[in-house]
Structure 1
Amino acid sequence: MTERPKAEVRALAAIATMEDPERLRTIMANAKARAAPDVERAAFLRLCHVQPSADPGTMEHDVWRSIHALEEMLRAERGRTTLLSRTRQKIKRDGEAKACADLTLKATPSDGFAMLVDRGHPDLLFEAVVLRHPERFTSEVADAARTRLAGIEAAPES
């Protein structure tokens, strides 16, 4: 097993406490250019953690982490800010729990589901949110989440 370069160790330590989204995006871009995937991933995950206004550990925070993750992926892919307008509108209209439940119960997974799975972030799926917060969802929604997650290789822990 090889040791991490000192610069990478320092970067990972700094990322753990950063709160500035733009600085985290800069670190992500620099890490990508320097082929430092661990640093890029850590900055991405921290960015998704600091963007939501809800309290960490809540279902609402987890839902917004997922939304921000997908929007960041789309931003990187398209080179411009892209909001998940329909999902945001649904949340505004019905709340995070209902939006999460409705997407989990859909017969076909969303494009966002595939994006998160393909990029190695199954823990950010709405289905994973359902399993982390079972008290907020019906057993029907939880069963649908388990069934969908069983179909992917790296199912997240509940």
Structure 2
Amino acid sequence: MIKPVAERALKVIESCVDPKGLRQIAANARQRGELDVARVADLRLYEILPSEKPGSFEHDVWRSIHALEGTLTNERGKTTRLGRTRQKIARVGELETVKDLIIGAKKPSEGFFMLIERQMPELTFEAVALRHPDKFDFTMLDSAAGRLRSVGVEVDVSILKC
């Protein structure tokens, strides 16, 4: 059963578009041991932080970056940034960065495993690629799906049909 305070917090989180407010809700929830509320606030924060258009490929990429950075910052107690990923995006863009991390690397990135371990498979670049199949070729999508399957994540195979 959800506590009334947690229920109210979840309703506020649902429509909140203020990053500072969401961070405060998450911090308060953690302090009270309401980890589910903190997680929902964090996920909402990662949804609103990217400046790109919601639903776009670029928004999804930045949502993933914010999620991993935010999670690591919370765990470590100090600001953590994905410096190399941000630098690569600045050099070659989101699309080439995702392609390189999915097919250019022989093994999954450390960020992939970090997101999987934290029960956020939908925020991996592999999942981002599968949500935007028009940006990638079949080989890339098949590789992304295979990587997710290898860690026990179910993948909708209908997107892989030619």
Please give the TM-score of this superposition, normalised by the length of structure 1: 0.93
The equivalent residue for 2:59 is 61
Identity of aligned residues (%): 49
The structural deviation recorded for 1:156 is: 5.7
Q: Take 1:155 and 1:92, find their aligned partners in 2: how far apart are those partners?
A: 32
Q: Unmatched 5+ residue regions in structure 1?
A: none
The equivalent residue for 2:114 is 115
Mapped contact 1:122–1:155 kept (Cα < 8 A): no
Mapped contact 1:123–1:156 kept (Cα < 8 A): no
2:126 maps to amino acid: E
The equivalent residue for 1:21 is 19
- SS of residue matched to 1:144: helix
Mapped contact 2:73–2:80 kept (Cα < 8 A): yes
Q: Unmatched 5+ residue regions in structure 2?
A: none
Matched residues, number? 156
Runs of 4+ in 1 over 4 A off after TM superposition: none
- SS of residue matched to 1:95: helix
2:44 maps to amino acid: R
Q: Which has the higher contact order (CA 8 A, sep 6+)?
A: 1
The equivalent residue for 1:124 is 123
Q: 2, 5, 8: which one pairs with 2:3? A: 5
Q: Take 2:85 and 2:118, find their aligned partners in 1: how far apart are those partners?
A: 20
Q: Take 1:59 and 1:49, find their aligned partners in 2: how far apart are those partners?
A: 13
